[in-house]
Homo-oligomer: A and B are copies of this chain.
Amino acid sequence: METWDAIRSRRDVRQYDDRPIAGEDLDRILEAGRRAPSSRNRQDWDFVLVTDRERLRELAGVWRGADHVAGAAAAIALVAPDEEEAWRREAVQFDLGQAAMSMMLAAADLGIGSGHAYVDDQELARTLLGHPEDRFCALMIPLGYPADRPLRPLREPNRRPFGDVVHRERF
């Protein structure tokens, strides 16, 4: 798909059909995350790919808004260092946002939907995913083919108007 079509097609998808995602497509999505830029190229992230149905169902319990993980074809958990200093925590989040966006666009390019799931119950996430104590699970990205309609460029997304967001030369 053309990049501009993928950017305009990506939307929040939380209901998935039963089709599995091919392994090579999952690897491409993960590779898009691996290639993302980060502050001083620190790459402060690990990606845990989950496709096991029982584990996906259990992961749906990490946040009240994560029900959709149970029905996803796969989920990528983004694990990062649990930094102490505020500025480091913020830098990690910025970089995770870059990696997440890159993976979601790589998915959209393949017709695969994604919908953020935050993580409230860190202990449950740790029990299921097995990451060390000095790291936390910042986010899960469930993936699947949309149950309703295929991804197509959205004409007008639900966003602030262009002229409100964009300023020329000065705010």
Binding site for B on A (CB under 8 A): 1-8, 10, 12, 27-28, 30-37, 41, 43, 45-52, 55, 79, 86, 89-91, 93-102, 104-106, 108-109, 116, 128-132, 138-139, 154, 157-160, 162, 165-171
Residues of B within 8 A of A154 (CB): 35
* 9 tightest A-B CB contacts, nearest first: A97-B97, A3-B109, A101-B101, A131-B171, A94-B97, A93-B93, A98-B101, A130-B170, A3-B6
In angstroms, Cα B157 to Cα A34, docked, is 9
In angstroms, Cα B91 to Cα A89, docked, is 10
A selection of 15 A-B contacts at a CB cut-off of 8 Å is A2-B2, A3-B109, A4-B109, A30-B165, A33-B165, A35-B159, A43-B165, A45-B165, A47-B166, A51-B169, A55-B169, A89-B90, A93-B97, A105-B105, A132-B171
Q: Are A169 and B52 in touch, CB under 8 angstroms?
A: yes
In angstroms, Cα B105 to Cα A55, docked, is 33
> How many subunits of this chain does the assembly comprise?
2
Q: How far is the CB of A171 from chain B (nearest CB, A)?
A: 4
Q: Are B169 and A50 in touch, CB under 8 angstroms?
A: yes
In angstroms, Cα B85 to Cα A89, docked, is 13
In angstroms, Cα B133 to Cα A107, docked, is 38
Q: How far is the CB of A29 from chain B (nearest CB, A)?
A: 10
Q: Are B48 and A169 in touch, CB under 8 angstroms?
A: yes
Q: Are B48 and A159 in touch, CB under 8 angstroms?
A: no
In angstroms, Cα B170 to Cα A131, docked, is 8
Task: Using CB atoms, name the residue of chain B closest to A156.
Answer: B35
Residues of B within 8 A of A3 (CB): 1-3, 5-6, 105-106, 108-109
